[in-house]
Amino acid sequence: MEIKNKKQIFLVLVPHRDARAALKKLSESLIKSGINNIYNFPFAAPLAALLRPLSTDELKKIACSIREIKGDKKFNHNNFSSVVFPAGDEKMTLYGPRLDLQRQPDYSGCTGKIDSVFPNPVSGIFLEKIPEYKAEKQYLTVQERENEYDSLTDFVLKDKNELSFRPAAIANMYWQPIRQGAMTIYKWKIGKLCWLPNPGKKQFLK
């Protein structure tokens, strides 16, 4: 019997396709290394959990805010890291390289739509269920795994510039846990992409 849970909505930053190809390459290598009990993630960086989808105009304003933060600099990824990701009724650990977004975008035009923000976003490559450990032990376990994955990243990607990009987009991502017997699967759909304006361009053309 299939039970569909309520859809969740997230604001995500979608890297340029070349960076996504590098993230896919990294994900495939990690899986081949023997990691199991993980779930795929769509090679995007969650920025915020939403109560309702953002409109085109709201996305454009946030895209402009992110471009103002980055200026003409590329997005880079730092060491492998993780964040807690609220996947339905369960909390998951989302792993991936940390995105160097120096501060939060301006969400002031999205009153009543932002549920929570991810202060240190990562470009997710896979999800893992959080084991039933005590808080301190869980932190150590996650930290050990981050170090292990980071070492493998250095091995797989000889040049971390493969993960750098300047063109990027943001979008609403629709996320739905589906229960199939004793197993849970996760389906997602990324909405229409809203590309960040080119560096130096202060606003979108009408």
Residue from 52, 53, 24, 38 nearest 85 by CA: 38
User: Which pLDDT score, from 0 to 100, does residue 1 have?
Assistant: 56
Name the percent of the chain lying above pLDDT 90.
41
> Comparing 139 with 191, which gets the higher pLDDT?
191
Query: In the structure, what pLDDT confidence band is assigned to residue 46 with cuts at 50, 70 and 90?
Result: very high
- CATH label of the domain that carries residue 26: 3.90.1140
> Comparing 171 with 198, which gets the higher pLDDT?
171
Q: Which amino acid is at 24?
A: K
Q: Does 157 map to a domain? A: yes
Q: Does 206 map to a domain? A: no
Number of domains in the chain: 1
Please give the model's pTM, rounded to 2 decimal places.
Answer: 0.84
Q: Give the structural domain span for 190.
A: 2-195
User: Which pLDDT score, from 0 to 100, does residue 135 have?
Assistant: 45
Q: Does 203 map to a domain? A: no
183-190 and 168-180 beta bridge pairing = antiparallel
> Comparing 14 with 6, which gets the higher pLDDT?
14
> Comparing 53 with 126, which gets the higher pLDDT?
53
Percent of the chain that is helix, strand, coil (3-state, to 5): 30, 35, 35
What span, in angstroms and rounded, lies between the C-alpha atoms of 113 and 98?
25
Q: Does 56 map to a domain? A: yes
Q: Does 129 map to a domain? A: yes
Q: Which two tokens stand for residue 105?
A: 């975008």
- Give every CB contact of residue 14 below 8 A, 6+ residues apart in sequence: 20, 43, 44, 168, 169, 170, 171, 190, 193
